[in-house]
Amino acid sequence: MTRVSESGLPIEPVYGPVDLEGWDPAEKLGEPGAYPFTRGVHPSMYTGRPWTMRQYAGFGTAVESNARYKQLIADGTMGLSVAFDLPTQMGHDSDAPISHGEVGKVGVAVDSIDDMRVLFGGIPLDKVSTSMTINAPAALLLLMYQLVGEEQGVSPSQLTGTVQNDVLKEYIAQGTYIFPPKPSLRLTADIFKYCQAEMPKWNTISISGYHMAEAGASPAQEIAFTLADGIEYVRTAVAAGMDVDDFAPRLSFFFVARTTILEEVAKFRAARRIWARVMRDEFGAKSPKSLMLPFHTQTAGVHLTAQQPEVNLVRVTVQSLAAVLGGTQSLHTNSFDEAIALPTDKSAQLALRTQQVLAYETDVTATVDPFAGSYAVEKMTDDVEAAAIALMRRIEDLGGAVAAIEQGFQKGEIERSAYRVAQETGSGERVVVGVNRFQLDAEEAYEPLRVEPAIGAQQAERLAKLRAWRCQERVDAAIALTQKAAAGTDNVLYPMKEALAAGATVGEVCNALREVWGVYVPHDSF
């Protein structure tokens, strides 16, 4: 009996030569590290060194998160990935009325350069690669990181890491947007230009399908909508006068890894192949690095269950294996207790140990792209690629990613996919162990990690002290220059950096930009 994949594509009981009849290995595969990059972006992949083990962490105050980062580094993490709380993601200070009850809850609260100093205190920024999951106010957090690095004596040219900076997916799935799409894209282009001049080793954007997948997107939708957003960013940068080969090598991507190993491997391979062709044929990119699709992967948070949470250890292991077999460049493994609360130190350590077992105790790092030539995986790669391209063409017919967002296309497609999954889970057609099958009559109580509710008051006190010692005239002058740049064509990051160095807060700078650019109002009638 034929099964159906997460993308709604058939999975045959048996695959063989007939499924790849007329299939050209030179066109479809190539060599590892060479066009079309189906087999990976580097010739040696993990045979030389494993992927970067980058654990996502951040909660409460900068002091608490700093302690967690140091523990992760001691445990063997190769790179940090910062989670910010909702007020920071939305460009609000911790003492703003709208921030009440949310300070430090889903990430660390960063209101000013003072918090950023504490967050990375004692962590050498010339030796650690840092990824920051921040979008609408990405420029501000990037500049504060640069300022802290300079205070440590680290040149901006030495800083390595990634700022997510993918605001288009916010309108589609996550919702932490501030400004309308056009000024948001302008700000993205300013970040590209700024980093090209000031921080050449920094990855200026991580174009994310992860959040779409968490909202319910299928694998084919995930890569189609992500790559369509990527095309929009490239078009924006080219329209701003940048040469594609000057910025494209610093683009990176962010995908989910589900438990469906074969389709996930096919998805990653198809995404690389599509992107290489688009960059070569549509944008005329010449550098091989411009054609690559380097990506970070996170295991699927939406698949974690509060019921029998230890089973999540198995899920995360399977998902990690899918990411590695699919050729990821870095990986975050979720902790087994994240469906209940913030992960404890022990569960975060177990999540990291999962990656270390894969890297050092299995043979998956011994050879490059072990699924190459598999009848099943190659046919599934072709199928996912075809489904993704069909969706990308529909977006182009609507006028591109921004126009499609404004018409609710991606959001509507994802909602239909999510509804289908919910129906299948509710009916029992889709098995979720411990939830709709193999349940326990009684489960052992689990003591979660809790965030101290007084954090909001503590941050408000820090902000009051900051505003008392800073030179308000210097802050006001720098914010005025930021608004002037925002209303014109100058790069806003230069006056913005001066404002942050003077002690301006995230909320103050974002409010100043709101006055110039306005705020995005979603269309709920889709």
Take residue 68 and report the two structure tokens written for it. 């967690």
Phi, psi values for residue 458, rounded to 5°: -65, -45
pLDDT band at 78 (very low <50, low <70, confident <90, very high): confident
Q: Which of 318, 330, 201, 171 is nearest to 253 (CA)?
A: 330
Give the mean pLDDT of 360-373: 97
pLDDT band at 56 (very low <50, low <70, confident <90, very high): confident
Please provide the DSSP assignment of 126-187 as one string.
TT-EEEEE--TTHHHHHHHHHHHHHHTT--GGG--EEE----HHIIIII----S-HHHHHHH
b vs e for 419-429, b when ≥16 Cβ sit within 10 Å of the residue's Cβ?
A: eeeeeeeeeee
Distance CA 413, CA 18 (A): 33
What three-state secondary structure class fits 81? Answer: strand
Residue 526: predicted pLDDT: 39
| Domain layout of the chain by residue ranges | 44-427
CA angle (183 as vertex; 179, 184 as ends), nearest 5: 65
Distance CA 176, CA 169 (A): 9
Q: Where are the beta strands (DSSP E) in 397-458?
A: none
Q: Tell me the one-letter amino acid at 223.
A: I
What three-state secondary structure class fits 383? Answer: helix
pLDDT band at 145 (very low <50, low <70, confident <90, very high): very high
Residue 35: predicted pLDDT: 97
Whether the full predicted model's pTM is greater than 0.85, yes or no, is yes
**How many Cα neighbours within 13 Å face the side chain of 300?**
27
Q: What CATH number belongs to 44-427?
A: 3.20.20.240
Q: Where are the beta strands (DSSP E) in 230-376?
A: 251-257, 295-299, 330-332
pLDDT band at 525 (very low <50, low <70, confident <90, very high): very low
- Can you tell me which residue has the tokens 């700078």? 509
**How many Cα neighbours within 13 Å face the side chain of 51?**
32
pLDDT at 136 over 50: yes
Give the mean pLDDT of 455-482: 96
Cβ–Cβ under 8 Å, residues 95 and 144: no
Cβ–Cβ under 8 Å, residues 104 and 455: yes
Give the mean pLDDT of 399-415: 95
Distance CA 446, CA 376 (A): 41
